[in-house]
Amino acid sequence: MKLGRKILSTAMVVAILASCMCFSTAKVFAAQGSMAYFDNTSFGWDNVYVYAYGTKENAEWPGEPMTKGSDGFYYAEFPETFTSENVIFNNGLEEGEGKEQYPENAGLPLKKGECKLFTYDKQWINYGGMDNHGYGYAFISTDTEPDGDSVPVKLGLKNASTGEYSIDGAPRVKYRDGKVLKLGQGKIANSIIKLDLYVNDGEVETKESYSFRKNFTPSETTFSAQSDGHTTEAVAGRYKTNPNLQLGKNKTITVDGQTDDWDSSMIIAQGVANDDPRVYMPSAMHEQPWDAYALYSAWDNDNLYFMWEMTNTTYIVSPSDNFAASNEARPWRNSIPMYLALSIDPTKKSTGKAVGVDKSGNQFTNPFVWGCDGGVARSGGTGFTTHIDTLIAMDSNNSNGGDSIFKADVQDSDGTYMFNYDTAVPIGVSSFEKQDNKNGFKVKYANGTKSKSIIGINSPKGSRIIGDSYAPGGNWVDFMDYGYKESYGYIYEVAIPLKALGIDKEYIETQGIGAMQILTYGTSAMDTLPHDPTTLDNANKPYGPDPSTSNEKEDVDNITVPLARIGALLGDTVVKEAPLEVNFGADLSSGQRAGTDLVLAAEAYNNKGNVTYEFSVDGKIMQSGAKSSVSWKPAKEGTYDIAVKVTDAQGRTATVSKKYVVGAPSSTGKSGDVNGDGNVDISDARLIQKYTVKALSFSPEELKAGDFNNDGKVNIADVTRIQKYIAGLITA
């Protein structure tokens, strides 16, 4: 008897992720266990092993051989007693030359009940249920270039030859393995795109729901001043130095560990979340994060104030690292050095060296202010190329009585300046219990988050590559969309008496000062605001005392980027203003049915004064005025040209136009592109092979695309011609 129709639904939240889709064998697995799949394409190992450890160990290293499925994937099944493991894939060699494994250090997390696939591009992804039902999957295509308006999302199928997709509630469209969608086409950015995938085998229909975030990053007004000594330009992209030329504010701050005195207009340096050195050394994710996110500043008649936010996204990206994903990882758990580096006199250049007189009256020098013994750095340090002449050296739990303000006031033989131990201003505590800092210095810390968005790359450990946070692509998300809580983060507030710095309010507002916050692990910099890439240059190399953790804990970091400015810019500053830009599109993605109520909306950036918006469809003006949106109901299917022209108070204009498709798009691409992924490759040849042996049927569009030799038939001759095309023996 045929069973009644069932619905299986799994909700997933996925953002823009560099990955691709692959295929799996049809095999029934125990629902209580777990499964690991491995695509050997990029490795080409003769033998594939998996080593699992955690609550259980599947075998001594190198583990056990994996089974090769009929589709070429290797798989291994673990019993339900393996509740939370880490897996390492390898080529079966125990030691010596030729031994290969991935990841190099800590394994990839696998929990009971999970079925996960390691793709050829080294992504560790969820891979459906522990059964033989069909499932659909969607991931960003690494083989397809984005077109600027959409995200190339590759669809895949497990245990099925066809599936259906729906974008933002649009009618379902049939698809094959490897289909590439232009997801979010025509939709306004900084919004969520919903994608539903359905697979129906006549007995059970599965539904997989995804959420992708389409991002818009406007240009920033930038500045540069050669007199500050920087030799590397400020890091751009999502990192910002003095965003919108913000220079802090004249405001009195109550230093109480609360964020209510601060607002986003006081941010002088913006970082990104999940970019501390741990993420590039997967085995180090268990350690405390030192992840700087935003630096704020203010001043009044008496004090210079700072507040900074630190994030802990371990709760989201690696929850199995129990210590780091808990409040035990708070930075004040230990006494760890922190710095505020200032440039008060931009003519002074320091290298980081410090000088003093010992008890015997002999002068001594250290290569760095902190962490040196007998003129030798114990474990790395931080030096400077950018001009810095004042260091506020404090510790993360405010327990060190030796915290001080060090000034570079001793000139070295080469003309640079050295920090002076003998003229240091003590700012440490007299009593930890009372938290009574010396010379008017104040510091408070607490769990908390001021920012409304926590932007960073949400990718699992083992998949991060140094430099990915500087690139425009990648799995950029707002961690708030993934359940990030304000209590996950940490904030520090600091007040520094102006008299201890030798300046006053007028100096800040007329001359200005430069500032950078430096987080360390002992002595070496782990993160800075503004961000300097020197804090990540050795992130994926091993730390000497513990090779499973990052070398950033002991390397020498040299600051070369511009500091953030407070109060005023330097006299030789050259400002490059950002152009007027606009984020524009519909509230729903292309593919909606005719007659759907849509809204076209626009958001202007970098405008001078008020803005007017002129909306048009196919050249016909729909609305013009101050309103930033207009209703639109397309009457028939087809491709429309939607556009907006914005004009600001200074007469500057910016126009954006997009294509918007109403109705189902074509399911195939050019000749030979049967799966519609924009390429003619081996995936298309395999589909044609299956068609020729009647393993699947083709739609009229697929038949047209499959006729690669244009003889009116779809057969093995088309497969052969595609193979020759891929090999470069013939042209298309």
Q: Tens digit of pLDDT for each residue in 178-236? A: 888 889 999 999 899 999 999 998 889 999 998 888 888 888 888 999 999 999 999 98
- Average pLDDT score over residue span 708-723: 89
The pLDDT-based confidence of 42 (bands split at 50, 70, 90) is: confident
Q: Are 185 and 590 in contact (CB under 8 A)?
A: yes
Q: Rounded distance, CA 418 to CA 611, Å?
A: 52
Closest CA to 340 of 295, 278, 301: 295
pLDDT in tens, 238-295: 999 999 899 999 999 999 999 999 999 999 999 999 999 999 987 888 899 999 999 9
User: Which pLDDT score, from 0 to 100, does residue 639 have?
Assistant: 94
Q: Where are the domains of the chain?
A: 6-214, 222-575, 581-662, 666-732
SS3 state of residue 296: strand
Collect all residues with Cβ–Cβ distance below 8 Å to 409 and sequence separation of at least 6.
Answer: 389, 417, 420, 423
Residue 709 amino acid letter: N
Q: Rounded distance, CA 451 to CA 135, Å?
A: 38
Structure tokens at 690: 């299956």
Query: What topology is assigned to 581-662 in CATH?
Result: Immunoglobulin-like (2.60.40)
pLDDT in tens, 62-115: 999 999 987 688 999 999 899 888 899 999 998 888 899 988 766 888 888 999
**Residue-wise over 71-91: b if at least 16 C-beta within 10 A, else e?**
eebbbbbbeeebeebbbbbbb
Q: Are 430 and 399 in contact (CB under 8 A)?
A: no
Bridge partners of 86, per DSSP, are 53, 109
Strands 124-126 and 574-576 turn out to be: unpaired
Choice between 105 and 301, residue whose per-residue pLDDT is larger: 301
Classify residue 327 as exposed, middle or buried by CB count within 10 Å of its CB (0-12, 13-18, 19+): exposed
- Entry field: residues in the chain: 732
Strands 376-377 and 372-373 turn out to be: antiparallel
pLDDT in tens, 325-383: 999 999 999 999 999 999 999 999 999 999 999 888 899 999 999 888 888 888 889 99
Residue 449 has pLDDT above 70, yes or no: yes
- The verdict on whether omega for the bond into residue 65 sits within 30 degrees of 0, i.e. cis, is no
The pLDDT mean for the chain works out to 89
The pLDDT-based confidence of 26 (bands split at 50, 70, 90) is: very low
Using alpha carbons, list the distances in angstroms from residue 693 to 7, 681, 684, 690: 31, 19, 15, 5
Collect all residues with Cβ–Cβ distance below 8 Å to 217 and sequence separation of at least 6.
Answer: 237, 238, 472
User: Considering the domain 666-732, what is its CATH architecture?
Assistant: Orthogonal Bundle (1.10)
- Residue 316 Cα to chain centre, angstroms: 12
pLDDT in tens, 648-670: 999 999 999 999 999 976 555 67
Q: Rounded distance, CA 640 to CA 186, Å?
A: 10
